[in-house]
Amino acid sequence: MIWVNDIVQGVLLGGLYALFACGLSLMFGVMKVINLAHGDLAVVAAYLAAGLVTVLHMPTALSILVSIPLFAIIGYVLWRTVLQASLNRSVLTTLLVTFGMSIVIENALQQFFSANSRSLSIGALATDHFNVGSQITVGYLDLAILIAAVVVLLGLQLFLSRTRQGRLIRAVADDREAAQLAGADYRHIFGIAAAIAFGTVAVAGTAYGVYTTFDPTTGTTQLLLLFAFEAVVIGGLGSLWGTLVGGILLGVVQDIGAQISTADLLLAGQLFFLLVLVIRPQGITGSRRTA
């Protein structure tokens, strides 16, 4: 039974990774851009939530109502100014530029907020849990994060398949020139996709801040970007539900690794990712074509 509990904990941890991966997956799927600053942007979101809680005395859970639109605006503006220009150069330029952004964000956070670690409080919910049977413990917070991941993914899925904007995004992602000929301004559409991706980063960053402590370097030292990317790749590119599966698989593998020894939690996940990359680069759910 103890193994069942490990798997349950892994699934719950995977919810957090999947939540992180949503934005990365969307930008990669639509613009073919890997945002290497993704992890650090999530840390910015956590700091923003902390600021909103302190200054406006908002409850943490409600702070995302402010931070999501704010991040969406930042995403749109950043895309239209810097990221589109670098994509016009080449895909490699987007890597260099977003990597530079990641390092700049991290050092700027350090300048403004010092290296001390912080956390977001959410009251009793942070530690409360319920038991299933005698061995399985489910934390309310972990479950809430997993549900948030599912809700965000479901929302993205519905948005992309049911709305006019969503159809435009898919059209531009499929064939930019054709969509352009049909009258869609791809730069605006990409900007909207970036805005949505950044909005999900705001949710993920806040969830991370509630889940554990964070400091300015968390984005790179805690490998947030890597976990997000790993969830995307393990699940298979271009599939949002694959991202959820990938995040959960990563969480489960990490939790099983942690049973061997706590230090092996990260190593198990990283080696699993490299294995998938070498054996099945198109991911678990992907078809050969997308590799």
**Which stretches of the chain bind other proteins, using CB under 8 A?**
28, 33-34, 36, 82, 85-86, 89, 91-93, 95-97, 99-101, 103-104, 107-108, 110-111, 220-221, 223, 225-226, 229-230, 233, 263, 266-267, 270-271, 273-274, 277-278, 281
Burial level of 164, CB count in 10 A (0-12/13-18/19+)?
A: exposed
User: Distance between CA 89 and CA 221 in Å, rounded?
Assistant: 30
Nearest CB to other proteins, comparing residues 73 and 274: 274
User: Least CB distance from residue 206 to other proteins, whole Å?
Assistant: 24
Q: What one-character DSSP code corresponds to residue 281?
A: T
Pair 109, 48: CB distance under 8 Å: no
Task: Give counts: helices (H), strands (E), the chain.
Answer: 13, 2
Nearest CB to other proteins, comparing residues 205 and 219: 219
Q: How far is CA 281 from CA 33, 230, 232, 240, 274, in A?
A: 17, 11, 11, 17, 9
* Look-up of token digits 């931070």: 67
User: Least CB distance from residue 93 to other proteins, whole Å?
Assistant: 5
User: Least CB distance from residue 234 to other proteins, whole Å?
Assistant: 12
User: Least CB distance from residue 184 to other proteins, whole Å?
Assistant: 24
Nearest CB to other proteins, comparing residues 56 and 91: 91
Using DSSP, state whether 121 is helix, strand or coil. Answer: coil
Nearest CB to other proteins, comparing residues 80 and 167: 80
- Which ranges of 140-217 does DSSP label H, i.e. alpha helix? 140-162, 164-174, 176-181, 186-211
User: Least CB distance from residue 139 to other proteins, whole Å?
Assistant: 26
Nearest CB to other proteins, comparing residues 144 and 193: 193
User: Distance between CA 28 and CA 87 in Å, rounded?
Assistant: 12
Nearest CB to other proteins, comparing residues 10 and 219: 219
User: Least CB distance from residue 193 to other proteins, whole Å?
Assistant: 17
Using DSSP, state whether 131 is helix, strand or coil. Answer: strand
Nearest CB to other proteins, comparing residues 85 and 147: 85
In one-letter notation, the amino acid at residue 136 is I
Token duo for residue 28: 């990669």
User: Least CB distance from residue 138 to other proteins, whole Å?
Assistant: 29
Residue 193 has φ and ψ, to the nearest 5°, of -60, -40
